[in-house]
Amino acid sequence: MAETMEIERKYLVKLPDMDKLNVVRKRHITQTYLTDGKNNSQRRVRKIQENNKTSYTYTEKIFLTRVTRRENEYEIDEEEYNRLLRYPKKGLVPVEKTRYCFEYRDQMFELDVYPFSDEFAIMELELRNAQQEIFFPEYIEVIAEVSEKIEYSNANLARAGKFPDMIGDN
C-alpha cells in the first residue's frame, strides 16, 4: 500500500461546455464507502471503467484538515472488490460519476459529473503544495470553493443523492 499526502481543492462549478475541455482521460466511477477503518479512517472501493476496461481500487484516508489527507490506495481484483462490498457504510449509497481529466496551464483538473445534476459539477485540483497558485479556465464558471464544506464531500453526496440545497447561498 503506497501512502501519499494529498492536498486538494474542490470547487462547485456550472457544468461547462464539454467540447471546450482538453480531456485527456474519461472514466466512469462507482464509488462505495465502507465501514470506517482504524483511527476512524474513511475506507472506500471504486470500480473504474475506462476504454472498455474495468479496474478496482481500495482507498483508506485519514483527514488531517478538510483539504489535506493521508491516503493509502492500491489496486485490487474483482473478487476482493466484491468481498469488500459486503461491508458498506450504513446510510450511504454508491456514488456514480463520470470523471473528466483535463489540463489547463500545467494543472490537471478533474471534473466530476453526477447523474443527478445536469447543471452543476465538482471540479478538483490536487496541489503540489499548499501555496500553489491556481489558474482556472475561462470557460468554466466557478460558483464557490467547497473544499471545506463537508456537505459537498462524496460521502455526503452519496447520502443525499443530490447537491446541497444551499447552492447559490455560498
- Tally of domains within the chain: 1
The residue type found at 96 is: E
Tell me, what's the pLDDT at 160? 86
Q: Which residues contact 64 (CB under 8 A, 6 or more apart)?
A: 70
Model pLDDT, residue 2 = 64
In a domain, 169, yes or no: no
Predicted local distance difference test score (pLDDT) of residue 170: 41
Name residue 48's amino acid: I
Indicate whether 167 belongs to any domain. no
Among residues 141, 135, 144, 119, which one has the least CA distance to residue 10? 144
- Positions in the chain short of pLDDT 70: 1-3, 166-170
Residue 135's pLDDT is 96
Domain that holds residue 58: 2-160
Indicate whether 132 belongs to any domain. yes
Q: Give the span between the Cα atoms of 130 and 127, in whole angstroms.
A: 7
pTM tops 0.85: yes
The Cβ-side half-sphere exposure at 78, using a 13 Å CA radius, reads 4
CATH number of the CATH domain containing 104: 2.40.320.10
Question: Under the phi-then-psi rule, with left for phi > 0, alpha for psi from -120 to 50, and beta for the rest, what region is 85?
Answer: alpha
Residue 166 lies in a domain: no
For residue 23, give the nearest of 47, 51, 46, 4 by alpha carbon.
51
Dist. CA 81–CA 170, nearest whole Å? 37
